[in-house]
Each structure stands twice: as C-alpha cells, then as structure tokens.
Structure 1
Amino acid sequence: MKVVTDAAANLTRQRATELDVAVVPFQVTFRGETYKDGVDILPEDLYRMYMEYPEDFCETSQPSVGDFVEVYKENANEEILSIHLSSGLSGAYSSAEHAARILERENVTVIDSRTVGPALGWMVETAARGVKLGWPKDRILEAIRLVGENTLTMVAFSDMKYLRHSGRVSHIKSIIASVLHIKPIIGMNAVDGRYSNLGQEMTLSRAAHKMVTLVQERFGEQKLRLQLMHGSNLPGVAILREAMRDALSVVEEQLTTVTLVLGAHAGPTVFGLAAAPQSVFDQLFK
C-alpha cells in the first residue's frame, strides 16, 4: 500500500522518505518566476522574498490532474491512499479524484482531510505507520478519521494584507481589522474545511493567550501532542510558547515553518499551533 499526499502536509523531504510517502507539490509564482513547493522552493524562501519585496504578492496553484496521474501510475501495482489538503481551501483533492477516475482503478482511495499543515501531516503519518504495521485499509481509514477529528489547528497574524489580497476573507472586514490593528485568530471549520474565525484580539499577546484558552476549552487537562508553526515570526512563537507555559501539558514537536500554500496567503507574520490529545496516538500505536 502506498500513501500519497501534497506539500500542504508540512512533511520535510527527509520525513516523507522515512515514511515512504509520495508528496505532490503545489506551484507558487512570485515576481514572474514559478516554483514547485518543496522541490525548488521552501516556505522559508518565500517568507524571505516577502520580507525583501513587501509590496509584492504571490499566486499559488494546485497540483494538476496530470501530476496525480503520474504518481498513481508509478504505484499502479499497489493500493493507494491519497490524503490531501482540505477541499475547502484548494482544488488538490478534486485533482486527485479526477486522476483516479481517469485511470479507472479501484485501488485508489482519495481522502479530503478538511485541514492543513501539521494536522494533515499527522493524518498522513498515521496512515504510513499503519501501512508499515500491515494494517488493513479499513483500519487505516478509521485511524485517519480519529486523528483528524481530534486535532485543532489555529493561526494568528498581525498583517492582514496577504489574506485580503488572496480573497479568502471578507475584504471589508480585513480592512477594518487592519485599521483597528486587530489580530484575528483563524481555525478550520470541520464541516466544510474552510477557514473559520475563532476570535480577534488587540495585541499578539492577547491573541496567543486566546489560542491557549481555546485549546484548553477543547481538550481540558489532557496531555497534548503539539507543534508550533510560523512564517517568519519567532517573536510571535515566543509569545505563544510563554502563554502555553504552566497552562498546557504538551509533548512539543520541533518548531516548523507554516506550509507554503497557507503561508503564501497569510504572510510572514503568521504563527500558530496544531494540537491533539497524545492519548489518541498512544492508543492507535500501543
């Protein structure tokens, strides 16, 4: 069985190799140059370019149907689990589905994660570990569902211009937020897989504490698997980590850069977290 995903899963090339996962890249175009995410550009490269050219924006494009057809053909003799960025944010899932229909193969199962970033990565990791353990497909699908339903993702940022330019939030609301210097907190809607407004605060410190409160309200005092992420905003990460101290019991993973397909529309000031009960993973792989 082969697991396929896209670059929104926040998997480094080394981690994807360790898990034996095929990663299909997105494309990003900036200042007339087009790059493949994870192939000839990394998220930190884009954030650096954003800082160098603060008046410019980039455009992202989903993997094509042909990109998926190629990967599926390369693994034609295996059962394929193809797990992708939320269909509410991108057409990657649709491209993968279309590719599976073109090939007319029943051995390709395409999954809409309804999430992004480390949360998607944890679903992919769960599938890959299940494959290595020889689990049947039904058990892997149930494990993926369990991880997805128990993971919380949220980000905050101080500069709304990138989201405003992307068209992914109300233009009027984003202008008001910029004028008032409001720091919005954005999460994922589990029903439609789109961005959801979880709140707004006047300072980054208050936004960080609000995120911690939202995690506490969702998970209580459970020990959490947690990963912090950012664009180019280490001060924001430090504020969030301080807000977490003594408030959450966590097994913290290595700090990661926000996946390019999200960061391209959120900009370099983005920072946030993904969290899930550690017990979910302990029970799956005990």
Structure 2
Amino acid sequence: MQEKIIVMADSCCDVGRDLQEKYNIRVLPVHVIYPEREYEDGVDIDPKTIYQRFPDEIPTTSMPSPGEILDFLEKLREEGYTHCISVNISDHLSGTVNNVQAVAGEVEGLTTYVYNTKDISFGSGVYAVYAAKLVREGVPFDEICRRMEEKREDSHLMFYMDTLDYLKKGGRIGNVAFMIANVLHMKPIIACDPDGVYYTVAKIRGARKGKQRVIDEIAKRVGDRKCWLAVLHGDDEEEGKRTVEMIRERIPQGELIYFNQINASLAVNTGPGLIGVLAFVEP
C-alpha cells in the first residue's frame, strides 16, 4: 500500500500559519486558561491578546488531553493518512509528547512516529518543517524517521529575555536566580540543553549587547555551514526586524525561512521584549 504521510506538531513548536499551509503541517493546540474560559492556542486566541492583558492578567497553560489527541489522530486517519510524524517540544517542559506516545498506538491504520525534540518553540518546529519538506520530496516514512534522528544536534535556538518576571511567575526559574538577576540588572540568554531542560547561556547587561551575544553564540555553532535561520519576537516586531538584519550580516550563508511573533502559549511564560534566534544546520 502506498504511504500517505502527514506531519503534526503541538502548538508550542511555534509553526506559524504560513508554514502550516506551505508544508501541510497540522497543529495540535495547547490550552491557554483564563478565569472566564479555556482557549486553544492559535485557534481562538492569539499572542496579541496575551500581551494586551499583561501584566494584570497572566493565564496558565495546559497540554491537550489524551482524548483530544486521540480525536486528532483519528481525524488524520479518516482523511486517508497512513503514517504520521508527530513533532513535540521537550518532555521536560510539557507532557504532550508522552500523551501522544501513549495514545498513538490506539489508532488502527495510522503508524505514528513520535519525535521528542528536546527543545521548545521553533527549535522544535523546525523539525516539523524539515520532515514535511522530505514528505513533499517523496522520501519514505522510515527514511524520514532515520534522518530526523540523525539531525538531533542540528537545531540551535536561543532566547534573549528582557524580563524574568514571567518565567518566575510560571515557575520556570527559582527565587534566588530571579533575585540575583534583578538586583544586578542582568538580561539572560536561555536555551535548552541536550536533555531538553532550560539553562542559562549567559547573563548580559544591556539589551543591545544581549541580542548581539545571542547572534554570536548561534554563529559559533553554525560555523561556515549552510543553514536555515529564523527570528521570533515577543511583541516587538521592529526589534525583530533589526535582529533579522543583524543575523543576515553575521551568517550570510543562512537562509531566513521564518520570522514571526512567538505564539500565545509561549508568550505566557516569556513576556514582552523577547528575541529568539534559530539556526538549523545543513537542512
């Protein structure tokens, strides 16, 4: 039987609508919870709403339930897909990947490969784009899975954070780290380590120096290799555009494939003023 392959990603992978449409990527929404109701990330709530309700209202988030995931996968099977590649953020940052893994085997007629990226945001989402590009090129399912395993060390994403307030309120950092950074007026650069856990790459005084350090760190990891590039921002499109120009100058062999506002569920824990830079080497 001929394979019909679909790529899905949870919404914390930050695959924007343009990329979803271009590469036929389906997105499983995370929930954003306000007192009045629960919203589905990217469906009935967008990041602008989150920023408009800051700082007085800071919502929480929750992963999709096993039942929602089962319904999502069964719908893909009903559309005629025989194979699914599920791209998910780190299991240390969300339980979604574990829920998908638990449910996937229950859908008869749909073979699902669950990929734990050990990253977040477009550091994860770039793997969905990579997989979908291979699908479009006619690469068989098993070969795509093998190639994705080989690319595990090739996605490099770092975030400059203008404030730690939202990470602190979301329980992502401890009181001591928060107090020290605030007292010293330090701006952190964060990334995920190989296990998919947040760590601090550096702490810099001054926004401009911080963003330049992000680009320098990414450039060190890329070297002279070809790569895909992406820039994400937190409610600051103009600063995002300036960062695009900086990284194009620093990594001229890179191809910018994505520039966007960070999604709603991630905005909850990062707040305004964030800049993220990604490089995916040798795509």
Secondary structure of 2:120 counterpart: coil
Instruction: Give the alignment partner of residue 161 of structure 1, picking from 149, 162, 165.
Output: 165
- Tell me the TM-score normalised to structure 1 length: 0.87
Task: Provide Cα deviations, 1:108-147, integer angstroms capped at 9, x if missing partner.
Answer: 2211111222232221112122222322222101332344
Instruction: Give the alignment partner of residue 237 of structure 1, picking from 223, 236, 240.
Output: 240
- The offset of 1:169, in angstroms, is 1.2
Correspondence for 1:209: 212
- The offset of 1:213, in angstroms, is 1.9
Correspondence for 1:284: none
Correspondence for 1:88: 92
Whole-Å separation in 2 of the counterparts to 1:56 and 1:180: 27
Secondary structure of 2:131 counterpart: helix
Secondary structure of 1:134 counterpart: coil
Secondary structure of 1:253 counterpart: strand
Matched, 1:107 2:111: yes
Question: Could you tell which deviates more after superposition, 227-236 or 86-95?
Answer: 227-236
- The offset of 1:269, in angstroms, is 1.8
Matched, 1:227 2:227: no
- The offset of 1:227, in angstroms, is 1.0
Contact 1:119–1:148 under 8 Å retained in 2 = no
After superposition, residues 1-286 of structure 1 pair within 5 angstroms as: 1-50=5-54, 54-76=55-77, 78-103=82-107, 107-190=111-194, 192-234=195-237, 236-237=239-240, 240-241=243-244, 243-244=246-247, 246-249=249-252, 250-277=254-281, 280-281=282-283
Structure 2: 5+ residue stretches without partners: none
Whole-Å separation in 1 of the counterparts to 2:234 and 2:242: 14
Contact 1:188–1:195 under 8 Å retained in 2 = yes
Identity, in percent, stands at: 24
Whole-Å separation in 2 of the counterparts to 1:187 and 1:232: 20
Q: 1:241–1:109: structure 2 CA closer, same or farther, 3 Å change rule?
A: closer
Q: 1:217–1:115: structure 2 CA closer, same or farther, 3 Å change rule?
A: same
Contact 1:208–1:243 under 8 Å retained in 2 = no
- The offset of 1:86, in angstroms, is 1.3
Contact 1:154–1:211 under 8 Å retained in 2 = yes
Alignment-mate amino acid for residue 109 of structure 1: Y
- The offset of 1:102, in angstroms, is 4.1
Task: Provide Cα deviations, 1:166-222, integer angstroms capped at 9, x if missing partner.
Answer: 1111221112212222100001112x1111210110111111121122122212233
Q: 1:14–1:219: structure 2 CA closer, same or farther, 3 Å change rule?
A: closer
Whole-Å separation in 1 of the counterparts to 2:243 and 2:138: 39
Whole-Å separation in 1 of the counterparts to 2:268 and 2:203: 21
Contact 2:237–2:261 under 8 Å retained in 1 = no
Alignment-mate amino acid for residue 83 of structure 1: V
Structure 1: 5+ residue stretches without partners: 282-286
> What is the root-mean-square deviation in Å for CA atoms of aligned residues?
2.2
Whole-Å separation in 2 of the counterparts to 1:21 and 1:222: 27
Whole-Å separation in 2 of the counterparts to 1:55 and 1:155: 24
Contact 1:93–1:110 under 8 Å retained in 2 = yes
Q: 1:182–1:165: structure 2 CA closer, same or farther, 3 Å change rule?
A: same
Whole-Å separation in 2 of the counterparts to 1:171 and 1:273: 27
Task: Provide Cα deviations, 1:10-62, integer angstroms capped at 9, x if missing partner.
Answer: 22334323322221100101353321001101223322322xxx132110001
Whole-Å separation in 2 of the counterparts to 1:133 and 1:181: 49
Question: Could you tell which deviates more after superposition, 150-159 or 245-254?
Answer: 245-254
